[in-house]
Amino acid sequence: MAMEKLCTLDDVWEGDMDSFEANDGREVLVVCLDGGAVKAFQGVCPHQEISLVEGELKGNVLTCRAHLWQFDCTTAKGINPDDCQIAEYPVQVTGDDVYVDVANVEPFTSHS
């Protein structure tokens, strides 16, 4: 485990998302779902690597702005299409600090 501090809870309010750069340079999307659960996902869409933070979060559903692929942020699985998914990174919240471990999870890509 190589947890690194990416942001604080003040950076990502409930029902909101933002992206941050991990120490290895990869983009990480941090989402705070309704109810306060904090999730971290690959920052770029598995379809054609558009930044997911430029998309829309409605409830638990994240929609990529480019071609409207949708993902369920509670499971990281694709909704439309339903045979894709985004990589989810382990998250730990300590006080107001959000720590994420990106070391052993590779982002998904499809290029289709």
What residues make contact with ligand FES under the rule CB under 6 A? 45, 47-48, 50, 64, 66-67, 69
Shortest Å, Cβ 83 to ligand FES: 13
**Helix, strand, coil percent content, the chain, rounded in steps of 5:** 5, 45, 55
The pair of structure tokens assigned to 105 is 């999870």
Shortest Å, Cβ 4 to ligand FES: 26
62, 52 in Cβ contact below 8 A?
yes
Residue (92 or 109) nearer to ligand FES, CB: 109
HSE, side-chain direction, 13 A CA sphere, residue 79? 13
Shortest Å, Cβ 41 to ligand FES: 13
Residue (22 or 86) nearer to ligand FES, CB: 86
Shortest Å, Cβ 57 to ligand FES: 14
What single-letter DSSP state applies at residue 107? P
Residue (39 or 47) nearer to ligand FES, CB: 47
Angle CA 50–34–5, to nearest 5: 60
